[in-house]
Structure 1
Amino acid sequence: MRSCPECGAEILTGHGFVEWCAACDWNVDPGQPEEPIGRVDVLRRRLAQQHGEALLAEVTTDEALRPGRGTAGVLALALALAVHGVTVALFVGGLLLVVLGWGGGLPLLGAVCLVVALVLRPRFGKLPEDAPVLRRADAPGLFSLIDEVAAVVGTRGVDVVVVDGECNASVSTYGIRRRRVLTLGLGLWEVLTPGQRLALLGHELGHYANGDSRHGFVVGSALRSLETWVYMVGRTERPTPGEALLNGLLLLPRCAVTGVLLLLERLTLRAAQRAEYLADDSAARCGSTEAASGLMDRLLIADSAEVVLLRESNSAQAVRGADARDAWRGLWDRLAARIDAVPESEHERLRRAGARRGHSVDATHPPTHLRRARLLASSPVPAAVTTGAAREAALSEELAGARERVARQIMNGR
């Protein structure tokens, strides 16, 4: 113990974590939040700050927390369709110029339009090539559990589960038929309790059920197309005379594209944050309120898990021979043990640091401390889905191959 340099209160030292004072918040957030990059990021943070507290108050009532598109959602869908309409027009116009153009530069202009349309086309997504991909026949127990959680949430299960080493989880779609894929990051999954895993599944599947437009194909792909437009017509810094001329010629297109992107962000950002609260409700129903709030605590220390995995990888690459080949063994147990050893004081510091930073960490999600506070302020609910020791053992067995493959990849620095 030593005295706080600000207020003189006793603080704990030498425990491997940031030294800070709970009495006056000295050194509670020694790092610096990343500065926003570009006008879009600045707008996201400003909108998040404007909506944050008001949205938290709104979603505390059951009536307000019902899925729905709303006027902003309808306008966002119309704007997204218009964006895709421009891509279609470029493709059709380019094709006509190439086929019907009579000499001169028209066929060349048409070819340029076709290339731009190809770059801007909506992507249907695909499965990763370097990560384990599990289908229903590979892990029937896991898919059965996902189906149970999906039934509670009010949606259907997934077609594929992708396993990687990230300290995160997500849902998406792939292919023209829009098949559903759940990505489980073992860096997060392996440090959760059984109840917290159910809450995680409930949260992710909740995104399918609550109509989050930014996760949808039309609006989501329109946002990506607009970001590509911004990159293509972006201003060149420290330009040569020729680049300066091009900057001037692209000024109006750049302003137009940026304006449309900012408008679409404004129409969808509040709904995206609201969708996170909806997904948290799904997490609580599936795994219990206690498990969902515990999941928030684990998400707070996700950076610590990433540091542990990075150190393990660096240590393994410094060793040679049989020891290096077997370094992957026990990786997930070591990770879980180190995360379990994180003291409550560090959790509290991260909550206070999160409250100070607000939406500057991730403007598309409500701050984790607000999500946790809302869960704890609501009436507690029990878990609608449970797993016993036998089922947990069966799930662990089904994931054993993926756990080994991902552990080997991490230890090899991939």
Structure 2
Amino acid sequence: MARQQRALERVLADGRRTAPWNAALVGALALATVVNLVTVALAGTGVWLLVVGTWPERVLGAAEIVIALVLRPRFGRMPRHTLDAAAAPVLHAVTKRIAAELGTKPMDAIAVDARYGSGCTVVGPRRRRVLVIGLPLWETLTADQRLALLGHDLGRASTRGGPSGAWIQTALDALATWADMISPTTELEAARQGVADANAFRPDSLRQNTNISLGHALAQPLQNLLAHGMLALHRLLGRLDDLSGRQSQYRADEMSVRVSSTASADGLLRALLLDETARFAVERAARSGGDVWARVRASLASVPDTERERLLRLARLRGDSTDGSSPPTYFRIQFVNRIPGPRTAVPPSGEEAQAIDEELRPLRTAIADELRSRAG
């Protein structure tokens, strides 16, 4: 927590001059480059061996190409409940207006899901930017807090998205795949034991079982060592990525204040402290029937101020954060209240707000039905 406090003070001292690049991000990109170049080298040498090699070398080249295909980047899929510009013109217009004010790219699509949170993702070979809004959070926010939410997520996408984020994620996926391929599996162990059992009644079974045991004793430590090495690199790269993301989170919070107000950003962050309470409220609302979202709103609105203050103090003691790459929410609340910003928000007009609700209505119904089916 002391380190987090010092990091907060450094960001406050730098102000808007805070650079998007830092030592953790440079380290993460360097390590990711080494990992991804291994995949590129496998594919390149595999193709070369297939073209100019002998038959044994071609077999090796084919194996290298297969491994490189397994390690290839995963582009992800478009979320299930997605609204493009034709289905939600007003919501897209508001987000484009915010993106223009922040000087960042607008979203290609907007999706909703059943989580108490929000975020941005990049999917498909065309790297389409998708804003994903959690309906339980959206439904419980005021109009100005929704504006702060959109400003934060668009700012987060501008600081954490792009080629660098995809490059690091590709390396993380490759390291996890390497560990899965190298580590001994329960199926392999069962197959080895089955071979030993099948040889038990053969005349030369003692020598064959001894060979199997010796080979297993020699191979398993090496496999474990390599697998643990890959997992250690995965943890290191993930740690560097998380450290680089903390500074970008503060920059996104600054953008949230810029497009809304200090009070709106503060209210949004305090609402995120109700994550556990919101999950229970959603479960109860889904089991009880009726209007799920009205019940969720009523449940969270009934949380007393004393409970909210208790959660804030608990977050200060434990350093709770919304995810592993974010600073503690308590420090983020301090940050938005210590930077200059407007005191009042200018949310979308009443007509725009009603139009957005109408655009989200079909997905609100679909997700409510999904929640009821899970609860049942």
Q: Same fold (TM over 0.5)?
A: yes
Question: CA, structure 1 residues 135+362, in 2 after alignment: closer, same or farther (shift >3 Å)?
Answer: closer
Question: CA, structure 1 residues 381+355, in 2 after alignment: closer, same or farther (shift >3 Å)?
Answer: same
Which residue matches 1:305?
A: 278
**In the TM superposition, what are the counterparts of 1:8-407 in structure 2 within 5 Å?**
51-63=3-15, 66-97=18-49, 102-103=54-55, 106-128=57-79, 131-211=80-160, 216-234=165-183, 245-254=218-227, 256-315=229-288, 327=289, 329-358=290-319, 362-382=323-343, 385-407=346-368
- Supply the RMSD in Å over aligned alpha carbons: 2.9
Q: Which amino acid aligns with 1:330?
A: D
Question: CA, structure 1 residues 112+308, in 2 after alignment: closer, same or farther (shift >3 Å)?
Answer: farther
Cα deviation 1:314-364 (Å, max 9, x = unaligned) = 44xxxxxxxxxxx4x521111111111111121122222222222688432
Between Structure 1 and Structure 2, whose CA radius of gyration is higher?
A: 2
How far off its partner does 1:388 sit? Answer: 2.4
Question: CA, structure 1 residues 336+278, in 2 after alignment: closer, same or farther (shift >3 Å)?
Answer: same
**3-state SS of 2:12 partner:** coil
Identity of aligned residues (%): 36
- Structure 1 CA distance for aligned equivalents of residues 165 and 321 of structure 2: 25
More displaced stretch, 294-303 vs 378-387 = 378-387
Q: Which amino acid aligns with 1:299?
A: L
Q: Which runs of 5+ in 1 are unaligned?
A: 1-48, 316-326
**3-state SS of 1:257 partner:** helix
- Structure 2 CA distance for aligned equivalents of residues 259 and 214 of structure 1: 24
- Structure 1 CA distance for aligned equivalents of residues 164 and 113 of structure 2: 21
Question: CA, structure 1 residues 405+194, in 2 after alignment: closer, same or farther (shift >3 Å)?
Answer: same
Q: How many residues align?
A: 351
**3-state SS of 1:399 partner:** helix
**3-state SS of 2:112 partner:** strand
How far off its partner does 1:211 sit? Answer: 4.8
**3-state SS of 1:366 partner:** coil
Q: Which amino acid aligns with 2:249?
A: E
Q: Which amino acid aligns with 1:216?
A: G
Confirm or deny: 8 A CA contact 2:264 2:345 kept in the other structure: no
Question: CA, structure 1 residues 298+71, in 2 after alignment: closer, same or farther (shift >3 Å)?
Answer: closer
How far off its partner does 1:245 sit? Answer: 4.0
Confirm or deny: 8 A CA contact 1:72 1:268 kept in the other structure: yes
- Structure 1 CA distance for aligned equivalents of residues 20 and 181 of structure 2: 34
TM-score, normalised relative to structure 1: 0.76
TM-score, normalised relative to structure 2: 0.83
Confirm or deny: 8 A CA contact 2:262 2:341 kept in the other structure: yes
- Structure 1 CA distance for aligned equivalents of residues 312 and 22 of structure 2: 32
Q: Which amino acid aligns with 2:281?
A: V
**3-state SS of 2:122 partner:** strand
How far off its partner does 1:227 sit? Answer: 2.8
Cα deviation 1:103-144 (Å, max 9, x = unaligned) = 55x55544443332222111222213xx32111011110001
Q: Which amino acid aligns with 1:82?
A: V
Confirm or deny: 8 A CA contact 2:122 2:161 kept in the other structure: no
Confirm or deny: 8 A CA contact 1:170 1:182 kept in the other structure: yes
How far off its partner does 1:250 sit? Answer: 2.3
How far off its partner does 1:223 sit? Answer: 2.2
How far off its partner does 1:96 sit? Answer: 4.2
Question: CA, structure 1 residues 149+303, in 2 after alignment: closer, same or farther (shift >3 Å)?
Answer: same
Cα deviation 1:181-221 (Å, max 9, x = unaligned) = 11111011111111111111111100232356897211222
